[in-house]
Amino acid sequence: MNTVKANYFDAYRSLKLTRDATGVLIAEFHSKGGPFTFTSQDHTEFVEAFYRIAQDRANKIVILTGAGGDFIPAIDFSSFGNVADPGVWSQVHDEGTQILENLANIRVPVIAAIEGRAHVHSEYALLANVIVAGEAATFHDLPHFAGGIVPGDGIFTTWSYRAGVGRAEAFLLNPQPLRARTAHEWGVVAEVVANGKALSRARELAALYLKVPEVTRRNTRVHFIHPLKERIVREVGYGLSLEGASAADLVKAMQANTERAPSKEQVA
């Protein structure tokens, strides 16, 4: 299939962007072509990446997916530096809100094709209109409550919107891998397909959506995402402030534990 390249497609280290002649854009998360480990550089770059994707009217359908059989399986916490520093967290706060708002501002149908682990920032997938997941796909929340941090970056907003508040709270307070079939029963996943087939099924759905006039496609996405977009604008900035306070407290506790630990000389 012929592909078309825009001038921003090669601008982002961990987001491979390809678009075919019909306007279907595939945004693939990756680290050097393999499974994606999320870093602070990606957090910064994704603000612009999703803004540009939303701005580009040559994108007729957007498919979010991951490389190497996973969606987003891991995160490099150390890359974010000292999150107890207000200046550091101010940047995390601003970027975190803008990433989700820019994803919500994509004004064409969005499909998430999930294989393997969606264990970090699964809220990105839940901002799609439709999630297609491989049979072995799992959803998780590695970075937050189990690690001592408030899940305030939009993951509660999106999961409570898609699955219901009670399920979201239980999922985030006792995070365990959630299988694709269960996520389908909860109404989060639209279709469960054989392993390795999520992206091909997403392409089929994209081709189906393209049969509808463009204004209808765009306005339907705008209409469908609006209630969730309202919640993102209302909740995520506040949630990230709470998350930042908990992150600072966690760093403080870790530093205190380090100071109390006996030195090698004391042990000797």
Active site residues: 123
Crossing angle of helices 165-173 and 155-163, in 10° steps, is 130
Query: Hey, what are 56's tokens?
Result: 């580009």
Could you tell me how far CA 80 lies from the centroid of its own chain?
17
DSSP state letter for 194: -
- Strand positions, DSSP E, the chain: 3-4, 15-20, 24-29, 37-38, 61-66, 74-75, 110-114, 117-118, 130-134, 138-139, 178-179, 191-193
DSSP state for residue 146 in the 8-state scheme:
G
**What's the start-to-end Cα distance of the chain, in Å?**
68
Cβ 222 vs Cβ 107: under 8 Å: yes
Q: Give the torsion through C-alpha atoms of 211, 213, 214, 219, to 10 deg.
A: -110
